Amino acid sequence: MRVDKEYPTLSIIIPVYKAEEFLPECIESVLKQTFKDFELILVNDGSPDKCEEICRSYADLDQRINVISKKNGGASSARNAGLDCARGRYIGWVDADDRIASDMYSTLIGLIEDYDADIADSQYYQVVDNGVIKSGREEQVVYGSGNFIMHEFFASRMKPGLTTKIYRRELWNNIRFPLGRNHQDFYVNVLFALRSLTYVRTPEAKYYYIIRDKSITTTKTSRELREAIYKYQFTINLAKNNDYSKLAKTFLRNDGISRLMWRYYDISVNSKVPNQYVYNHYIREMLGWSIVKYLVFSNLPLKTRISYILLLLDFKSVQKILHDWFGK
């Protein structure tokens, strides 16, 4: 692989905020990569702890590290700041409290170039208190182009996360992360899934996603429910775009309803949501007849369909039934 000091092959972007306990291990895992031609962009998003000091100390030791310090603006703002100064032909992302396998980027660079792909992906490990769980059960490389990526994404085989993937730099030319949103990766990957791109995925797990009690993705609150409503509105608005095919619009509508209903059920059953009846009425009115068509024609298990219907009709009277049926 040609090494170009001015324009590295790969830009790795790590948004940093309140991660001083985990940040050194994360950075070390990047610096131990067998693939060497990269720049590491650490974006300190106004973290009040020692993250700035940690970032600077590593930058003093390795010239491939670029530290960006900015006022706190949230994860999307930090990702955008890193993206704006990235110089690599490919873009990769790592979360500051996770870590990666030493051959992750050599594997993904090899895949994206061997298959002339736009996006190369890997499986991941979920690291929890009682062990490590591998995602996916594939035994060979998955590859396709055209509508393939759309099928993979909306069938949840291509995960909406950023961190297991590398992307060609030009894909990001007109795309930035929406400010003020959780799960920013979902919004950009939906847009990628709707394009005719070439996608390749290795069956090997190369990313270690550390499950922590305070992780954004494990918090079930009314804020998460509002985010799910926004995702629904986002996908439904995309479905109104005449630039997309009939198949894409169908995928978008079904995916919007599916994500909203699952999140609503999950939060409602496992958490206490303030003003539950307000959300119940709002979601029922927002979905209208589309939820009826979805429940009739989808491939959801019968138990799931019934639980969604009961939830929308009168949550308070069926909460115990749902708990007993599905468990916590």
Which residues, 6 or more positions from 125, have their beta carbon under 8 angstroms from its beta carbon?
132, 133, 134, 135, 205, 207, 208, 209
Model pLDDT, residue 218 = 46
Model pLDDT, residue 282 = 79
Nearest CA to 195 among 266, 243, 263, 232? 243
Model pLDDT, residue 319 = 53
Residues of the chain scoring pLDDT < 50: 1-4, 216-219, 328
Contact call for residues 94 and 26 (beta carbons, < 8 A): yes
How many CA atoms lie less than 13 Å away from 236 in the CB half-sphere?
15
Model pLDDT, residue 326 = 56
**Domain segments of the chain: what residues?**
10-210, 220-326
Please give the model's pTM, rounded to 2 decimal places: 0.85
Model pLDDT, residue 221 = 66
Helix/strand/coil for 7 = coil
Q: Give the strand pairing for 199-210 and 119-128.
A: parallel
In CATH, the architecture of 10-210 is Alpha-Beta Complex (3.90)
